[in-house]
Amino acid sequence: MKTNIVTLLLLLFTCSFLNAQVKVAKIDRSLWPENLNSVENFDYASKMQILVYAKCFLEIQNLNNVEEIKAKYNIKSANVNSFSTWKKDQIQLILQNLHSIKSQTVLDKTIAINKNCTWQDVVKATEKLDKSIPANLKLWYANASDFSRQYANELARLAFLFPKTSSEILTLAPNEITGSNYADKEFLLTFDDGPTKENGNTDKLTATLKSLNLNGMFFVLGEQLQNRINATSTEKLNKLYSNNKLESHGKIHKSHQYLETWQESIDYTFGKIKTITDSKNSRSYFRPPYGQRTEKVANYLNSINASVLLWNIDSQDWNSKINASEVSDRVITLMLLWRKGVVLFHDIHPKANEALPVMVKSLNGSGILFMDANKF
């Protein structure tokens, strides 16, 4: 009896310990046997990644016991309605992405998929994966399954928390953007939390972007921007960001869902940005810290001709559990999966600077486009 109680306690302790650990989905792209340097190669890797993700998504689609969900994701409340909305969106996106693949050779390869597949066709295709994976894809398949299972759970957790804790998982108003509605293979690079001090990561990153002939949208913190203006000058800041687009991440890095001074925070940073850019763009963008905001925030932004710009590809580059090369593998994999969208990096951390050149090289010839941030 005593032993049983000890065993039970130990089991409970182990379970809660495992739940409390925030894991990040990682994948080793070197296990994929081909490069991504042609449209067909990209589409084949994309199709296989979508199918593996769909299989893992199906594994969690029937979660409905609130107590079990709370324990599984280590959360205090679980909104099953948000989860259900998210699931519908996911199915639609998966179908849309598979329909974007036009090459018959790619559609037929390894696991055949119909040109105009239905969700039922996708379910059937995922059921064939275990038996039909060829020898040269076996290692990749095992690794991609672990990644996709972990990633599906990352997203499901956010869905259950929404809107009590708002995030990028679902939108609250029509002027909120995640990038899921962009055209196939079009991506926007975004960088948060800067600027750093002079000659820091922001400077290195803008130089790297320039050398790669790319640009991005930088969501700056008003207070950080003012610090750097004080230390240098508005002209130097203008030069630092030159070809990139400067947007607001609020004055300070706090959740704008609960911050009483959210409006002042938004206005402050837009005001600071105006002092250093000569941008004539009619629309401005605000990215709430942690993606946390309310419908009121979105409506206010709408009244000043601005939008909430979230993301659908989270690099996790801020996370100490993932290194730069793993960040690049994760982002490339999510680009294959979602085939479009907004990539979230942080210029206050050094990983984007290392990951970007690798990503660009890996995706050369794949037909993807990093969009010009100044066109927004």
Binding site for Zn ion (CB under 5 A): 192-193, 289
Nearest residue by C-beta to Zn ion? Answer: 192
Largest CA distance in the chain: 75
Cβ closer to Zn ion: 216 or 289?
Answer: 289
Residue 314 CB, nearest distance to Zn ion (Å)? 12
Residue 194 CB, nearest distance to Zn ion (Å)? 10
Distance separating alpha carbons of residues 44 and 101, to the nearest angstrom: 9
Cβ closer to Zn ion: 57 or 270?
Answer: 270
Residue 298 CB, nearest distance to Zn ion (Å)? 18
Question: How many Cα neighbours within 13 Å face the side chain of 149?
Answer: 7
Cβ closer to Zn ion: 193 or 247?
Answer: 193
Q: Which helix (H) or strand (E) holds 331?
A: helix 324-338
Distance separating alpha carbons of residues 290 and 306, to the nearest angstrom: 19
Token duo for residue 144 = 């991609």
Residue 120 CB, nearest distance to Zn ion (Å)? 40
Cβ closer to Zn ion: 193 or 329?
Answer: 193
Cβ closer to Zn ion: 195 or 289?
Answer: 289
Residue 149 CB, nearest distance to Zn ion (Å)? 27
Cβ closer to Zn ion: 72 or 272?
Answer: 272
Residue 288 CB, nearest distance to Zn ion (Å)? 9
DSSP 3-state of 107: helix
Residue 195 CB, nearest distance to Zn ion (Å)? 13
Distance separating alpha carbons of residues 301 and 286, to the nearest angstrom: 8
Distance separating alpha carbons of residues 144 and 106, to the nearest angstrom: 19
Cβ closer to Zn ion: 192 or 317?
Answer: 192
> 96-103 long-range CB contacts below 8 Å, 24 or more apart?
97/46, 97/50, 97/184, 97/337, 97/338, 97/339, 98/47, 98/50, 98/122, 100/184, 100/185, 100/339, 101/43, 101/46, 101/47, 102/43, 103/39, 103/40, 103/43
**Any idea what the Cα angle at residue 203 is, between residues 288 and 319, rounded to 5°?**
50
> 131-138 long-range CB contacts below 8 Å, 24 or more apart?
134/110, 136/33, 137/33, 137/48, 137/110
How many residues are listed for the chain in this entry?
Answer: 376
Residue 256 CB, nearest distance to Zn ion (Å)? 11
Question: What SS3 string covers 7-30?
Answer: HHHHHHHHHHHHHHCCCCCCCCHH
Cβ closer to Zn ion: 49 or 292?
Answer: 292
Token duo for residue 95 = 């179908």
